[in-house]
Every structure is written in C-alpha cells, then in structure tokens.
C-alpha cells in the first residue's frame, strides 16, 4: 500500500529513542524531551513516545523487530502517520522502516532541518537550509520520500521506479550545484561587508538554542530581534554597529543557536553565516544557568565552535537566567570568571559591559613591537 500523504498538514507522531551501551537511560529521557519540543516546534502532534534498551542499534531497523511490529500496530490504533527517531537513521534503516510502517519516518536531523526550513527568512538562510536538506536527503531518496515541510513538493512525490528515482537524483544534484554557486556569490558580498568592519571590534553571541542570546543582544544593542520560548527562534545572523555607550565602535552579531546532534550538513552549509563567529574578536557564550544539563550544553556548544574553527576565539561565559536560579555561582572557565546575568530582568549587566569595554580597548591598543 502506498503511503497516504493526502492529509499532510498535521503530523501525528510517535517518538522513539534508544538506550544503548553508549547512551544511558536518563540521557535518553532528557533527549526525548528535547525531541518532543523540536517536534512541536515543527508543527507535529506527539501522541506517544517509546524507549528501547538495546546493546547497539539494529542495522536494518535501528530498533528491534519486535518493537517494529508493536509500533506498526500502535500507529493504526492511534491513527498516527509519522514516526520520529531521536537519532540519525541510515538510508537503509529509513527505507525499511517506512516500508513496514507505511508512515512517514523522520529522524532528528531531518526534524531540525525542517524547523530551519520553516523559519528561514532571508535569501542566504533559505539557500543554506535547502542545500543542507538536499545534501542530507540525496542518499535517502527512495521515490516515496516526501519532505516533512513539503516545501519541495516535486521531489520524492513521484511514484517509485528506478528511472524516476534516477531523474530525481540528477535533479537534486543539479539543484545542489546551483545553490552552491548562489551561496558563493553571497559569500563574496559578506566578505566585502566584513572588510568594511575590519577596524571595529567584533563580538558575536553564541550558545545553545533558547539560552537567551537574542534577549541579551537586544539589551546590548537596543535592537528589536524576535525572542521566544521555543527552539531556533533565530536563524539569521543580525549585526549592529554600536558606538553610543561604548568607547570604541563595536559590532555585535546575534547567531543561530546550537543543539545536540546539529546535522553536520547544516553546520557545513551555514558556514558562511557562521563566519560571524570564527571572525569575531570576542565571543559571548551565553548559557541558561538554570538548565539541568548546563555542563553538557556548554560542551556541545564548544564542539560546534570547534567544527566551525571558532574554538580559538577568546570568549566570555555569560550565565543567563540567574533570576531562575538566584544562588548560582559562576565557575571559572579557562581561568576567566563567568558573568551571572538576567537578560530578562536586566540584572548583572554593568559588570559584563565593563568587561566588554575593557576587552575592546585592549583589542584596539597598538601591538607592542620587539
């Protein structure tokens, strides 16, 4: 039976996570909670979630065959049309599961890509997301594959059959090289803009999604960037040059938030946007100090920074949302003390601003010779 995509608008989903030798139960419970938020952000309705304990993922189905059958029946009972996995599936797993479930099978990277696709507003971020999606899905094109957000209706919506599949693949490849060319052009423009700012002190806000980067950015620059209590509110970098209140010209940039298992293709294709990060003179690494997974979030952000070659840029740790955890004491990081602030209640900002000013002045001091 063919998959019924006639009512694609609301995905009614079952979430699935795996506890393996390398992943503890508690970790997976928390990761599934995040997956649930991601699914809601993408517009899906979550009907149930399942966790399986297995030594390692099964090569054919990721989960065990018994659970595959159980879920197949459950999908019918619940009238669910979508199964979302908390990890990356191989093309074969994805194909096999879709065949058995006769429902849409989505993994964590696809879900994240989908949220990005829905939220992308500027030309650059649209191109970057589309490129990442195509790169991710090319090896996964099955002929029955339909994109979650249905933005690219043509691809995969056609019937199966090797020939059609080949045509689809070729079209995708052509589109990929077209997108790359367009992005290269935009990259040149960005480089020119950056050159104009080369004598300014560049500060970029980075951190896990929902940490409060945009809220702090607005405070530091009096801008009016959208903030919201959801994941990935910001997808584009925004830049503001500030001189009022600062002795030097400082350029602040707000960036897209990071998350655990950020799809590699996404990081790759967002590299030019993320150059705001690697080219900065100073990073403000913003964290939600009330997040129970604080230490892990910090490491995950540092990992993405390494991936975009920004791990050697000097940084300040900004422990935000101190209002939600008033007794929090910021620890030392790399010998630097962190700043405890509340961007929401505007607490703790003078010390942070003073440090920013000191850093920018030091950054402009002519280097001593000899």
Applying CB under 5 A, among 49, 81, 93, 233 the residue interacting with Mg ion is: 233
Applying CB under 5 A, among 94, 96, 234, 272 the residue interacting with Mg ion is: 234
CB of 308 to Mg ion, least distance (A): 17
Q: Can you spell out the DSSP letters for 51-88?
A: EEE-SS-BTTTBS-HHHHHHHHHHHHHHT--EEEESSP
How many residues sit in the footprint of Mg ion (CB under 5 A)?
Answer: 4
The residues binding ligand GTP (CB under 6 A) are: 207, 209-215, 227-229, 231-234, 257, 320-321, 323-324, 342-344
Nearer to Mg ion, 228 or 362 (CB): 228
Residue 214 binding Mg ion, by CB under 5 A = yes
Q: Can you spell out the DSSP letters for 242-258?
A: E-TTSSS-EEEEE-PPB
Binding at 39: pick from Mg ion, ligand GTP, none (beta carbon under 5-8 Å per type) = none
Residue 96 binding Mg ion, by CB under 5 A = no
Q: Which residue is nearest to Mg ion (CB)?
A: 234
As a whole number of angstroms, the distance between CA 247 and CA 361 comes to 8
Residues with Cβ within 8 Å of 188's Cβ and at least 6 positions away in sequence, in order, are none
- Inter-residue contact 51 to 87 (CB < 8 Å): no
Residues with Cβ within 8 Å of 105's Cβ and at least 6 positions away in sequence, in order, are 82, 83, 85, 89, 94, 97, 98
Binding at 209: pick from ligand GTP, Mg ion, none (beta carbon under 5-8 Å per type) = ligand GTP
Could you tell me which stretch among 21-29, 112-120, 230-238, 344-352 binds Mg ion (CB under 5 A)?
Answer: 230-238
As a whole number of angstroms, the distance between CA 63 and CA 76 comes to 19
Residues with Cβ within 8 Å of 270's Cβ and at least 6 positions away in sequence, in order, are 125, 128, 132, 256
Could you tell me which stretch among 15-23, 157-165, 227-235, 328-336 binds Mg ion (CB under 5 A)?
Answer: 227-235
Residue 238 binding Mg ion, by CB under 5 A = no
Radius of gyration of the chain from its Cα atoms, rounded to whole angstroms: 22
CB of 274 to Mg ion, least distance (A): 14
Spell 125-136 as b/e; 16+ CB within 10 A means b.
bbbbbbbbbbbb
Nearer to ligand GTP, 94 or 227 (CB): 227
Q: Is 12 helix (H, G, I), strand (E, B) or coil?
A: strand
- Inter-residue contact 352 to 205 (CB < 8 Å): no
Residue 204 binding Mg ion, by CB under 5 A = no
Nearer to ligand GTP, 82 or 305 (CB): 305
Nearer to ligand GTP, 94 or 320 (CB): 320
CB of 341 to ligand GTP, least distance (A): 7
Nearer to ligand GTP, 41 or 272 (CB): 41
- Measured in residues, the chain has a length of 370
List C-alpha distances in Å: 326 to 1, 220, 316, 321.
57, 22, 20, 9
CB of 238 to ligand GTP, least distance (A): 10
Nearer to ligand GTP, 129 or 141 (CB): 129
Residue 41 binding Mg ion, by CB under 5 A = no
CB of 233 to Mg ion, least distance (A): 5
Nearer to Mg ion, 106 or 115 (CB): 115
Nearer to Mg ion, 213 or 321 (CB): 213
Nearer to Mg ion, 41 or 214 (CB): 214
CB of 216 to ligand GTP, least distance (A): 7
As a whole number of angstroms, the distance between CA 239 and CA 252 comes to 6
List C-alpha distances in Å: 120 to 177, 234, 235, 325.
20, 9, 6, 33
Binding at 228: pick from Mg ion, ligand GTP, none (beta carbon under 5-8 Å per type) = ligand GTP
Binding site for Mg ion (CB under 5 A): 213-214, 233-234
């Amino acid at each position: 039976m063919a998959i019924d995509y006639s009512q694609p608008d609301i995905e009614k989903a079952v979430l699935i996570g795996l506890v393996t030798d390398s992943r503890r139960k508690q970790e997976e419970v928390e990761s599934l909670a995040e997956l649930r938020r991601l699914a809601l952000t993408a517009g899906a309705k979550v009907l149930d979630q399942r966790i399986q304990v297995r030594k390692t993922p099964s090569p054919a189905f990721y989960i065990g065959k018994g659970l595959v059958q159980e879920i197949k029946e459950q999908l019918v009972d619940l009238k669910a049309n979508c199964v979302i996995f908390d990890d990356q599936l191989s093309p074969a797993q994805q194909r096999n599961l879709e065949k058995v479930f006769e429902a849409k099978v989505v993994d964590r990277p696809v879900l994240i890509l989908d949220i990005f696709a829905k939220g992308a507003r500027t030309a650059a971020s649209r191109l970057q997301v589309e490129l990442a999606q195509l790169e991710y899905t090319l090896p996964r094109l099955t002929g029955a594959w339909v994109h979650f957000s249905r933005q690219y209706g043509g691809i995969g919506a056609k019937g199966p059959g090797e020939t059609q599949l080949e045509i689809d693949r070729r079209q995708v490849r052509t589109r990929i090289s077209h997108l790359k060319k367009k992005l290269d052009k935009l990259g040149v423009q960005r480089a020119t803009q950056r050159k104009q700012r080369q004598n300014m002190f560049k500060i970029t806000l980075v951190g896990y999604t929902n940490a409060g980067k945009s809220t702090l950015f607005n405070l530091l620059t009096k801008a009016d960037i959208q903030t919201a209590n959801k994941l990935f509110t910001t997808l584009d970098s925004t830049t503001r040059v500030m001189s009022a209140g600062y002795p030097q010209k400082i350029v602040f940039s707000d960036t897209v938030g990071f998350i655990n298992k950020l799809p590699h293709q996404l990081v790759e294709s967002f590299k030019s946007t993320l150059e705001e990060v690697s080219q900065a003179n100073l990073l403000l690494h913003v964290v939600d100090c009330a997040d129970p997974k604080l230490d892990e979030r910090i490491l995950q952000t540092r990992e993405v920074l390494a991936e975009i070659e920004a791990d050697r840029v000097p940084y300040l740790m900004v422990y935000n949302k101190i209002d939600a955890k008033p007794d929090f004491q910021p620890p030392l990081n790399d010998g630097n003390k962190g700043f405890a602030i509340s961007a929401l209640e505007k607490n703790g900002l003078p010390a942070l601003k003073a440090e920013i000013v000191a850093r920018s002045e030091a950054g402009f001091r002519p280097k001593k010779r000899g």
